[in-house]
Chains A and B, each alone.
Chain A
Amino acid sequence: MPDIEETRERYGRTLARLAGQDRRVVALDCDLGRSTKSHDLSEVDPRRFIDLGIAEQDMISTAAGLASCGKIVFVNSFAVFLTGRAFDQIRQQISLPKANVKLCGSSAGITLGADGATHQAINDVTLMRCLPNMTVIVPADGNQTEKAVVAAYLHPGPVYLRLSRYHLANFLPEDCAFEVGRAAVLREGNRVALAATGPVTAHALEAADLLQAEGVSTGVYNFHTLKPFDINCAREIAGRYETVFSIEEHNIVGGLGSALAETLCELFEPAAKPLLQRIGIRDAYGESGTAEELVHKHRLDAEGITGTVLEVLEKRRQYRR
């Protein structure tokens, strides 16, 4: 596998492989197949790649019809259109009846870059997380994407897969463990925990190195599944660290930060809860720029994460005096 890989690329290859093994697998797209990579499936069987034109609502309901006949349907578009434009169709015809449809939201987040605010999904996880019966997965790199796509395929019901075109080196092992609903412990520490989701998890790992060099013992946890949320891992983090940071390329309203906050504050144990600080897009829209520039601007790169952590630790010191 290539070192540098966008999660959407591994998604397309994995989808094509699954379609080769299972005739029930069908992909639908809305005129973005070569970008979302769903078009890869057409090399296996062109009849099972269906382009519905620029009509997201039609695509979602069509997928529900296919699923009602036993097909395993992967629907594709940019995350922003898929979850926003067709939200009511997803609500009524996918999540309510528990249709076996995999919603694959591509080019999610600000790392879409140049296309700007209209095309950058920053609240897709919020929208999908509030739907009953929905599983929400955000793969961090190519290797985890392959595991996630297979897990979504095997899961009998609706799944939202958030995919990215962030150009990044794979940083998880090819044989990384993956279980839906179970966060991955990437690194253990005892003072600061970085809970990250999606490709920016790579920057959390880099930040942990920088923090370690500053003498701050830092753990890194990858929450690839945002729903169902891993309560056990949240409890473990709460018992072990005094400060926790959620890190996501998404609005801090409704994403990983919210899921973690909701979970932590409802825990009976430990009685003394860690402080949670959310790092992400701070309730603002994106803009045009390169992925790297935007990640830097929103302080989601290693430098930004490290800076935020050190600032928060300093503030805590002041409050304790």
Chain B
Amino acid sequence: MFERLELKAWEARLELIRMFSYGKAHHFGGSLSCVELLTCLYFYKMRYSALLRDDPDRDRFILSKGHSVPAQYVILSMLGVLPEGELRTIKQLGSRLQGHPDVNKTPGIEAPTGSLGQGLSFANGVALAARLDSRQFRIFVLLGDGELQEGQVWEAAMTSAHHRLTNVCVLVDSNRFQSQGSVGEIKGVQPLAGKWAAFGWEVLEVDGHDVAQICGALDRVDDRSGRPLAIIASTVKGKGVSFMENSFKYHNRALSEQEYRQAEQEILEQISSRKHGHAGH
């Protein structure tokens, strides 16, 4: 099962690079770092599908780091929520696929985000509504580590803990870079686990590209006793494309055609080695 998820994640990366193509600026780094997290959520953990898109009991995914929405578009396309051909229209005038999440334009988008720090509060609101209506669904929120510099995140972290909103689960895509440099250099957010714990959360730390670890942590969301769960996922910004990895330079910029071909080739090789690796066993 984990091999299948891992392959799916790399296929999503390929779709992502092909959607971005070259010549136009996109948020490469932060989209590539959260691919495994999104894959495990949508294809392993969440009660969600194209048919359940408007079901009031569906699990919700809220992308607080809204600039990584291209990764979500790819997953929604793989789920059939978005038609496949639509991905290429991203950010074009009139497209349903806006540069940041738009609830009114794009099917499958649950919360308006982009201006950072607002997703967890929104998730708490959804959780409070679920409680009032006696619904059991879960709400998963993806935050960036740079985003944790926004004060509202910590207002919201207090709200979830105070109201014991244990159906809210935070995932931190800790790729250690933000727009203008490394998080540690610009304004450090460590110790991450200690901060969330101090705010009343149970904290798990995982390798954010290891699908078995991610799924294991996500399963812990269902045995909550009082404290909501925060999963700190250690990731690589630009994961999967050698020249983008661990750099802030591809946070939001355009690729040359040559760079694009190289990125596509590297990801294709990853997919190919996984397919052949499994065939041999």
List A residues at the B interface (Cβ < 8 Å): 26, 47-48, 50, 52-53, 55, 57-71, 73, 88-89, 91-93, 96-98
Contact = CB atoms under 8 A, between A and B. Distances in A.
27 contacts: A47-B132, A50-B163, A57-B118, A58-B121, A58-B124, A61-B156, A62-B121, A62-B125, A62-B156, A63-B125, A65-B122, A65-B126, A65-B129, A66-B129, A67-B125, A68-B111, A68-B122, A68-B126, A68-B129, A69-B125, A69-B126, A69-B130, A69-B133, A89-B121, A93-B118, A93-B122, A97-B102
A64 B156 CA distance: 13
A57 B125 CA distance: 13
Interface string B114-132: 1101110111111111101
A91 B113 CA distance: 11
B83 to A, nearest CB: 23
Interface in B117-176: 117-119, 121-130, 132-133, 151-152, 155-156, 158-159, 162-163
Given A64-B121, A70-B56, 8 more contacts: A57-B117, A57-B152, A58-B155, A62-B122, A65-B124, A65-B126, A68-B125, A97-B103
Contacts of A59: 121
B111 A65 contact: yes
B118 A55 contact: no
A268 to B, nearest CB: 32
Interface residues of B, number: 33
A64 B159 contact: no
A57 B103 contact: no
Contacts of B158: 53, 55
B155 A71 contact: no
B141 to A, nearest CB: 10
A63 B126 CA distance: 9
A96 B112 contact: yes
Contacts of B266: none
B95 interface: no
B42 to A, nearest CB: 19
B53 to A, nearest CB: 14
Contact of A64 (B111, B127, B155): B111
B112 A89 contact: no
B180 interface: no
B125 A65 contact: yes
Nearest to A56: B155
B152 A58 contact: yes
B265 interface: no
A210 B123 CA distance: 56
A218 to B, nearest CB: 46
Contacts of B152: 55, 57-58, 61, 89
Nearest to B151: A57
Contact of B104 (A53, A66, A98): A98
A64 B128 contact: no
A127 to B, nearest CB: 16
Given A61-B121, A68-B125, A71-B132, A92 B104 contact: no
Contacts of B125: 61-69, 73
Nearest to B113: A92
Contact of B118 (A50, A61, A66): A61
B124 A62 contact: yes
Nearest to B118: A61
A97 B104 contact: yes
A74 to B, nearest CB: 13
Nearest to B132: A47
Given A62-B124, A96-B112, A71 B156 contact: no
Interface in B80-101: none
Contacts of A50: 128, 163
A57 B155 contact: yes
B112 A93 contact: yes
B110 interface: yes
A97 B122 CA distance: 13
Contacts of A55: 152, 155, 158-159
A70 B129 contact: yes
A66 B128 contact: yes
B114 A92 contact: yes
Instruction: Give the residue among B123, B129, B151, B163 with the most A Cβ atoms within 10 A.
Output: B129
Given A52-B159, A61-B156, A62-B128, A68 B110 contact: yes
Contacts of A70: 56, 129
A69 B56 contact: yes
Contacts of B127: 65
A69 B112 contact: no
